[in-house]
Amino acid sequence: MKKLKWLLIILASIALLMKFVAMPYMQEQTKKHSPEKVASYHKNNKDLKVTYSSPSKKGRVLFGELIPFNQVWRTGANEPTSFITETDIKIIDKNLPAGIYSLWTIPNKDHWDIIFNSEMPEWGVTILSGGKETTRNPEMDVVNVQVPVTNIPQTIEQFTIDFEEQNNLALSLSWDTTKVNIPIK
């Protein structure tokens, strides 16, 4: 019985070290390569903010290889991308109530699925999968829309999320020679 007690104490200590020492260290190290960025929009009765980690291309083939087609991507690096809206908005024609959401995507060659999820997991992928499986719970999806891909002539080295306002407001995601615009109303 004493050996079992000591084994449990050791296991609990290891778990606490992982949670409070190893994970914060890993997060700090990965942010050196994929810095945290913020995009904000404060006009027309809309208060929107996106916080994401911005990885670099580094000569890699991104979409279809590093980021497989038809699989959920955490849309950036490190923690899932967060999308905050202070007011109710529409993503294309679907209602998105005011709140904090994680933003996930499913890239494809001609279109991307854009997913706003009501959960905000600590890390965007499972460590045991080597980063191949996301921590998204599909049951918590609030909005799921599809947008077309635009191929752009210049290469974008760092993954970038921004708000664009031409005729209408859109959340823009661009990386490499790929860009998608998500209409916001």
Mean pLDDT of 46-69: 94
Residue with token string 């997991």: 121
Please, is 182 exposed, middle or buried when counting C-beta atoms within 10 Å of its C-beta (0-12, 13-18, 19+)? buried
pLDDT of residue 128: 55
pLDDT tier, 29 (very low <50, low <70, confident <90, very high otherwise):
very low
What's the predicted TM-score (pTM) here? Answer: 0.80
Q: How far is CA 99 from the centre of its chain?
A: 16
pLDDT tens, position by position, 122-170? 766 555 545 566 778 889 999 999 999 999 999 999 999 999 998 899 9
Q: What whole-number distance in Å separates Cα of residue 55 and Cα of residue 36?
A: 9
